[in-house]
Amino acid sequence: MAPASKTLKIDGKDISIPTGLFINNEFVEAKEKAVFGIENPATGEIVIEVQEGRADDVDIAVKAARKTFKSKEFKEMNPAGRAALLHKLADLMEQHKDELCAIEMLDTGKTHKQASNLDVPGSIGTLKYYAGWADKILGQASFNVPGTFSYTRREAVGVCGQIIPWNFPLLMFTWKIAPAFACGNTVVIKAAEATPLSALYMCQLIKDAGFPAGAINLINGYGKNAGAAIASHMGIDKVAFTGSTVTGRAILKAAASSNLKKVTLELGGKSPNIVFPDADLKKATCHTGTRIYVHEDIYDDFIKTYTERLQKVKVGDNFDKEVDQGPQNSKMQYDKILSYIKSGQDEGATLHLGGKIDEIAQKGGKGYFIQPTIFTDVKPDMKIMREEIFGPVVAISKFKSEEEVIDFANDTSYGLAAGIHTKDYERAIRVTSALEAGTVWVNMYNFVHWSMPFGGYKESGIGRECGDSALENYTEIKTVYFNMGLRAPDALD
């Protein structure tokens, strides 16, 4: 029996959300009939229970995906047909954008500004972009070897396992499924256990759009069960993961120990932001990350301007369109952030602003609200300067020279992204070239676009998401030679 959908009232809207696993275009019960609760981070209360998939459910989903991948109908589907389905899905997202925005806000704690300006339109744009690629995945032809005609084919990898994180559940869902499907693969995707609701809603839209049964399959579940099963499954040909470096290592080991499946990993980061003395301070304090290096000549001015900005940040109900910062995503993440704040204090950094639970936003002690927090005079070896926090905690340090700050910036095991602020574009080119990061922003920060590759150096990952670079992750290259009068190999010059 199919698990019943549940109607939630979100931001004044009655929204029906499926609760089952999505396998072969149907919402189904997990084999063990286990469920787990999804909480509203603004209150800490469970709002819905969904089916919990485990290894047996992953196996069922993989078999469904494999059957579809090998079917004559799927193999012979015109690439333009795959493009049409991605466009149809994008159109359905447009029609249901208010519902998707509300679900994402409920599930993650994101504000309306974040969900409506980035997550939903970014997801729609991703689908349309890869729809445009579906019939442009081409090979090459060559007459370079005398006596032969050769060409290459870009062929689908097969069944792709995909594991997405809690921080951008809707966006990561489309980042993963769109290039995979455009290239002719089938998918078994696992949503993060904290934030599966937008993926579940998307699966209903996938069915409504007319995707072939088994093309996209969704497993709700925990990493230790469902995620581990995907990474080690012998029937999965490629796995893509976005999440922590620790988990990425485990997935890489599982992939190597099973069938040596192809792996792409978009992992952690601790991205440096460098503010040079000629920076526009207003712009620099509006576009910063959480690891900031400021030139000593403007350090005090920057701290003053940045403090004034963060003091104006409104923390509270993320469904209030005037709110700038909602609750943290989960109790686990909330406790982790508070532990980092304590670590910064214990290690001797100056707690300049915040550092406490936001009791006004909590309203009766409920929800996971933390004040925007600034630490100053942070030393390079402190945890808050070296480890990814994923919360409203900023660590600021000063520097003297360009050479020094490049060393500071690169002194990390990560290399996901970086930002610099300067009006000197010769300096900008020098520094962006010297930084060991997959993305570097100049006079802006944290902007990504589906048409440009995103991924990291060093322990921040393997491979790239987005752009045409992602297509390489989902295709195999086959070389074909035709004998057109080739002489015997031992006679070749």
pLDDT tens figures, 413-462? 999 999 999 999 999 999 999 999 999 999 999 999 999 999 999 999 99
Q: With 90 as the cut, is the pLDDT of residue 384 above it?
A: yes
What percentage of residues in the chain have a pLDDT greater than 90? 95
Query: Coil, helix or strand for 6?
Result: strand
Q: With 80 as the cut, is the pLDDT of residue 464 above it?
A: yes
- Maximum distance among all Cα pairs of the chain, rounded to whole angstroms: 86
Band of the pLDDT at 29, cuts 50, 70, 90?
very high
Structure tokens at 270: 């601790």
Task: Let me know if 282 is exposed, middle or buried by CB neighbors in 10 A (0-12, 13-18, 19+).
Answer: exposed
Residue intervals of the chain classified under CATH 3.40.605.10 are 6-267+456-478
pLDDT, one tens digit per residue, over 226-281 is 999 999 999 999 999 999 999 999 999 999 999 999 999 999 999 999 999 999 99
Q: What are phi and psi of 469, to 5 degrees?
A: -60, -35
Q: With 70 as the cut, is the pLDDT of residue 488 above it?
A: no
Residues 6 or more apart whose CB falls under 8 angstroms from that of 468 comprise: 133
Residue 199: what pLDDT?
A: 98
Residues 6 or more apart whose CB falls under 8 angstroms from that of 416 comprise: 267, 268, 269, 270, 271, 437, 438, 439, 455, 456, 457, 460, 461
Any long-range contacts for 303-311 (C-beta under 8 Å, 24+ apart)? 303/352, 303/374, 303/376, 303/396, 305/281, 306/374, 306/394, 306/396, 307/352, 307/353, 307/374, 309/285, 310/353, 310/354, 310/372, 310/374, 310/394, 311/353
What is the pTM (predicted TM-score) of this model?
A: 0.95
Band of the pLDDT at 1, cuts 50, 70, 90?
low
Structure tokens at 417: 């992204």
Structure tokens at 252: 């890489």
Residues 6 or more apart whose CB falls under 8 angstroms from that of 490 comprise: none
Query: Coil, helix or strand for 101?
Result: helix
Q: What are phi and psi of 146, to 5 degrees?
A: -55, 135
Q: With 70 as the cut, is the pLDDT of residue 340 above it?
A: yes
Q: Which of 52, 193, 266, 465 is catalytic?
A: 266
Residue 361: what pLDDT?
A: 85
Q: With 60 as the cut, is the pLDDT of residue 491 above it?
A: no
Confirm whether 266 is a catalytic residue: yes
Residue 456: what pLDDT?
A: 96
Residue intervals of the chain classified under CATH 3.40.309.10 are 272-442
Over residues 291-315, mean pLDDT: 97
Q: With 90 as the cut, is the pLDDT of residue 181 above it?
A: yes
Distance of CA 409 to the CA centre of its chain: 23
Which CATH number is 6-267+456-478 given? 3.40.605.10
Average pLDDT, the chain: 96
Band of the pLDDT at 489, cuts 50, 70, 90?
low
Residue 198: what pLDDT?
A: 98
Contact between 158 and 130 (Cβ < 8 Å)? no
CA 108, CA 95: separation in Å to the nearest integer? 22
CATH of 272-442, one of 3.40.309.10, 3.30.70.1140, 3.40.50.2300, 3.40.50.10490: 3.40.309.10
Which helix (H) or strand (E) segment is 253 a member of?
A: helix 245-257
Task: Let me know if 200 is exposed, middle or buried by CB neighbors in 10 A (0-12, 13-18, 19+).
Answer: buried
Paired strand residues for 190: 163, 219
SS3 labels along 8-23? EEECCEEEEECCCEEE
Q: Count each helix (H run) and each strand (E run) in the chain, helices first.
A: 18, 22
Amino acid residing at 491: A
Contact between 412 and 270 (Cβ < 8 Å)? yes
Residues 6 or more apart whose CB falls under 8 angstroms from that of 378 comprise: 344, 349, 384, 385, 395, 396, 397
Over residues 371-380, mean pLDDT: 96
Say if strands 272-275 and 291-295 run parallel, antiparallel, or are unpaired: parallel
pLDDT, one tens digit per residue, over 407-424 is 999 999 999 999 999 999
Band of the pLDDT at 487, cuts 50, 70, 90?
confident
Residue 261: what pLDDT?
A: 97
